[in-house]
């Protein structure tokens, strides 16, 4: 079994979401400012099931798949739990909650990487704040 690459997968989901929905991102929200765009994306993708699964509580809609994904990624789950308060007991909520926790933890970094990639590709033009 290969280790599931959360960083790559969350980044791909963020990029797919932007490419599929960029037409309706209101430019007045970020007015060309990279930080505003990142904040807006984080706010909107935090609960998007196609990116984090946090809206419904599941990205995979499959306990088995979530278990497969978190297998060999317990260190990442520990980092996420520490980031979100250290005493968060997502283990009692099951594999799908653990999977969502990891995705939410990685979301901000994935957004930053995707914005930079898309800027380099000329997809949109935002300036550093």
Assess if residue 78 is contained within a domain.
Answer: yes
Assess if residue 74 is contained within a domain.
Answer: yes
Query: Packing angle between helix 6-21 and helix 95-120, nearest 10 degrees?
Result: 60
Digit-by-digit pLDDT tens for the chain (129 residues) are 789 999 999 999 999 999 888 755 555 556 667 888 899 899 999 999 999 999 999 999 999 999 999 999 999 999 999 998 866 678 889 999 999 999 999 999 999 999 888 878 777 655 554
Q: What is the distance between the alpha carbons of residues 27 and 1, in angstroms, rounded to a whole number?
A: 43
Assess if residue 32 is contained within a domain.
Answer: yes
Find the radius of gyration of the CA atoms of the chain. 15
Contact yes or no for 73/46 (Cβ under 8 A): no
What integer pLDDT is reported at residue 113 of this predicted model? 97
What integer pLDDT is reported at residue 25 of this predicted model? 55
Q: In terms of residue numbers, what domain contains 32?
A: 6-120
Assess if residue 35 is contained within a domain.
Answer: yes
Number of domains in the chain: 1
- This model's pTM is above 0.85: yes
What integer pLDDT is reported at residue 48 of this predicted model? 97
What integer pLDDT is reported at residue 106 of this predicted model? 98
Assess if residue 63 is contained within a domain.
Answer: yes
Assess if residue 125 is contained within a domain.
Answer: no
Assign 3-class secondary structure to 31-76: CCEHHHHHHHHHHHHCCCCCCCCCCCCCCCCCHHHHHHHHCCCHHH
What integer pLDDT is reported at residue 68 of this predicted model? 96
Assess if residue 26 is contained within a domain.
Answer: yes
Assess if residue 128 is contained within a domain.
Answer: no
What integer pLDDT is reported at residue 124 of this predicted model? 64
């Amino acid at each position: 079994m290969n280790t599931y690459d959360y960083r790559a997968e969350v980044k791909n989901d963020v990029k797919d979401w932007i490419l599929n929905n960029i037409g309706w991102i209101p430019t007045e929200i970020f007015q060309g400012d990279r930080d505003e765009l990142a904040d807006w994306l984080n706010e909107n993708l935090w609960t998007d099931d196609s990116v984090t699964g946090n809206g419904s509580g599941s990205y995979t809609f499959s306990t088995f798949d979530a278990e497969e994904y978190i297998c060999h990624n317990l260190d990442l789950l520990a980092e996420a739990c520490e980031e979100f308060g250290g005493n968060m007991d997502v283990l009692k909520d099951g594999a799908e909650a653990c999977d969502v926790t990891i995705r939410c933890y990685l979301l901000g970094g994935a957004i930053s990487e995707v914005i930079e990639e898309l800027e380099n590709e000329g997809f949109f033009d935002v300036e550093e704040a």
